[in-house]
């Protein structure tokens, strides 16, 4: 009986300790989540990024069509130049974003992600529908055979590169440089979106830990693990000694 009482006390104390630990972790997780979300919002607001007027699904649609037309033109040019099928550019599908960022200050993860989607379309417009890996490193000099170019006026072969008369160095493809800048900015914006999502997840985890901690503590303090008393109507199963008649 004493052992059962001791075990019961251990369970009660353990439940209280577990509850306190969960509550502490829950509060800490909530604080970290709130601070993380606040940092994302404040950092984005400091940049004063505002969407351009064409950052709506309807306004960007002509640009998307222009990109698709450029990609189709490049594909046809590659076929005409005799580029093997396994060496031709493979273009991924592109469509107008469903969100709108025109005139909107980027101040949270959702608007940052929306702005990044439009930035990619702008970059593809500037590159003629080519991605960074598909573009040539240098501007191709006049008369360069099409099969040695990216079919958009650039090449990665030094021999066919346009040489700057002053520096005597190949002229860099500025569309490729623009893509690098665009990728850096969109990556930062998408990271802001991911950071906000993680902070929201942290808030949910913190709230779950907090509620679980209170639940453990209430069960332990309320004596949920105590032995349930036998109702008065229930007969006792203890054997009652009978008296032996005397002679």
Q: 139: Cβ–Cβ under 8 A, 6 or more apart, which residues?
A: 153, 154, 155, 161, 162, 170, 171, 172, 173
**Is 103 within a domain?**
yes
Name the residue with higher pLDDT: 86 or 246. Answer: 86
Kindly give the residue spans of alpha helices, DSSP state H, lying in the chain: 2-47, 57-80, 109-127, 174-221
Name the residue with higher pLDDT: 102 or 221. Answer: 102
Model's pTM, two decimal places?
0.78
Judgement on whether residues 12 and 86 belong to the same structural domain of the protein:
yes
| pLDDT attached to residue 228 | 46
How many domains does the chain divide into? 2
**Is 76 within a domain?**
yes
- Which regions of 118-171 does DSSP assign to beta strands (E)? 138-139, 154-155
Mean pLDDT over residues 40-52, rounded?
A: 92
Judgement on whether residues 67 and 9 belong to the same structural domain of the protein:
yes
Judgement on whether residues 73 and 155 belong to the same structural domain of the protein:
no
At residue 111 the predicted structure's pLDDT band, cuts being 50, 70 and 90, is very high
**Is 181 within a domain?**
yes
- Model confidence pLDDT, tens digit, residues 163-191: 998 999 999 999 999 999 999 999 999 99
Name the residue with higher pLDDT: 93 or 209. Answer: 209
Q: Up-side HSE of residue 80: CA atoms within 13 Å toward CB?
A: 9
Does the pLDDT value for residue 37 go beyond 50?
Answer: yes
Question: Within a 10 A sphere around the Cβ of 58, how many other Cβ atoms?
Answer: 10
Judgement on whether residues 24 and 142 belong to the same structural domain of the protein:
no
- Model confidence pLDDT, tens digit, residues 114-152: 999 999 999 999 999 999 999 999 999 999 999 999 999
CA distance 132 to 138: 12
At residue 18 the predicted structure's pLDDT band, cuts being 50, 70 and 90, is confident
Backbone angles phi, psi at 225, to 5 degrees: -95, 5
Q: Specify which residues 50 forms β-bridges with.
A: 105
DSSP 8-state code for residue 4: H
Q: Specify which residues 230 forms β-bridges with.
A: none
Judgement on whether residues 118 and 18 belong to the same structural domain of the protein:
yes
Judgement on whether residues 196 and 91 belong to the same structural domain of the protein:
yes
The range of the structural domain enclosing residue 24 comes to 2-135+173-221
Judgement on whether residues 125 and 140 belong to the same structural domain of the protein:
no
Percent of the chain scoring above 90 in pLDDT: 66
Judgement on whether residues 125 and 147 belong to the same structural domain of the protein:
no
Q: CA 4 from chain center: how many Å?
A: 52
């Amino acid at each position: 009986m004493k052992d059962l009482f001791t075990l019961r006390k251990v369970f009660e104390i353990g439940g209280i300790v577990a509850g306190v630990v969960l509550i502490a972790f829950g509060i800490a997780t909530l604080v970290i989540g709130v601070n993380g979300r606040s940092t994302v919002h404040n950092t984005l607001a400091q940049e004063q990024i505002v969407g351009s007027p064409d950052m709506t699904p309807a306004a960007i649609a002509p640009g998307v069509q222009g990109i698709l037309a450029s990609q189709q033109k490049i594909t046809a040019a590659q076929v005409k130049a005799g580029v093997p099928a396994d060496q031709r550019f493979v273009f991924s599908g592109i469509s107008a974003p469903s969100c709108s960022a025109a005139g909107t200050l980027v101040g949270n993860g959702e608007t940052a992600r929306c702005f990044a989607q439009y930035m990619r379309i702008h970059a593809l417009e500037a590159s003629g529908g080519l991605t960074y890996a598909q573009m040539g490193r240098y501007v191709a000099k006049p008369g360069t055979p099409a099969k040695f170019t990216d079919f958009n006026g650039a090449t990665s072969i030094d021999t066919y590169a346009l040489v700057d008369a002053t520096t005597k160095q190949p002229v860099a493809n500025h569309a490729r440089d623009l893509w690098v800048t665009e990728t850096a900015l969109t990556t930062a914006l998408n990271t802001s979106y991911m950071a906000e999502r993680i902070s929201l997840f942290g808030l949910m985890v913190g709230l779950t830990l907090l509620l679980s901690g209170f639940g453990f503590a209430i069960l332990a303090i309320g004596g949920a693990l105590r032995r349930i008393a036998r109702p008065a109507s229930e007969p006792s199963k203890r054997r009652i000694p009978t008296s032996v008649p005397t002679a």
